Every structure is written in C-alpha cells, then in structure tokens.
Amino acid sequence: MQEGNGQGSEKKSNIQQLWDTALKTTQDTVKNLVRPATCYVQAMQKKIELTVLSRKITMAQNDLGKRIDKARDTQTANIFEDAEVKAALETLDQMKQTAARLNEEIANLQSQAAPKSSDNDEPKA
C-alpha cells in the first residue's frame, strides 16, 4: 500500500514538473511576442517627440535668423556677442542635442524590436 502512495506522489510530482515547464514556456513565448510590440510603441512615441522637436528647432532657427537680421540692420558690431543671439544659439544647441539623443533611442528601440533572424527560418531551395 505504501508503494502505491509513493508512485502516486511521484506521478503527481512529474505532472507538476510538466505543468511548470509548460507554464514557463508559455510565459517566455508571451514575453517574446510582447517585447517587440512594446519597443515599437516606444519608438513611435519617440518619433512623435522628435517630430515636435524638429518643428521647434525650425522655429528657433527662424527666430535666430530674424534676430541676426535685426542686429545687422541696426549695424550692431559682433552680432554673435548680442545676448539675444547667444541665448537663441544656446537654445538651439540644447534642442539639437535632445534630437540626437532621441535618434539614438529610436535606433536602439528599433534594433530591439526587429525579429532576430536565424538560419532555420530561411526556406531551403
């Protein structure tokens, strides 16, 4: 009778191990499917931020051009020493650095979202 109990618990243990393995495999599969989608969504959000920032950069460049023209019209010596022009240049530099950082983040997210190709996936002729 004790042998029957031993086999029953061993059988239950094997079933539990199979169940745990199946659960882990399912969780891994879901993670592998969700991660690229998450990276794609994050990349799209960064692209939207980059588009908005690009528009702000264009407006700041236009503003800088107007300030330089204004300083030139008033025949200001050392146009680039003007406080307004310096401030505009600093703002532009910060925006360009942010844009470069966003481009790097987008590239990183896109590389993470890209499916990893293996030799087994290619059809054989």
pLDDT band at 125 (very low <50, low <70, confident <90, very high): very low
**What is the per-residue pLDDT for 54?**
96
Q: Which residue has the higher pLDDT, 118 or 14?
A: 14
Q: In the structure encoding, which two tokens stand for residue 37, read together? A: 């989608």
pLDDT given at position 116: 61
Q: What is the pLDDT of residues 74-91, one digit of tens each?
A: 887 788 887 888 888 999
- The tally of domains found in the chain comes to 1
CA dist 37 and 30 (Å) reads 11
For residues 114 and 100, which has the higher predicted lDDT (pLDDT)?
A: 100
Within a domain: residue 80? yes
d(CA 70, CA 74): 6
pTM: 0.64
pLDDT, mean over the chain: 83
Q: Are 95 and 56 in contact (CB under 8 A)?
A: yes
Whether pLDDT at 6 is above 80: no
The answer to whether position 124 is within a domain reads: no
| Main-chain dihedrals φ then ψ at residue 124, nearest 5 degrees | -95, 140
pLDDT greater than 80 at residue 98: yes
The rounded distance, in Å, linking the Cα atoms of 32 and 30 is 5
User: Is 121 inside a domain boundary?
Assistant: no
Domain coverage including residue 66: 11-112
Residue-level pLDDT at 97: 96
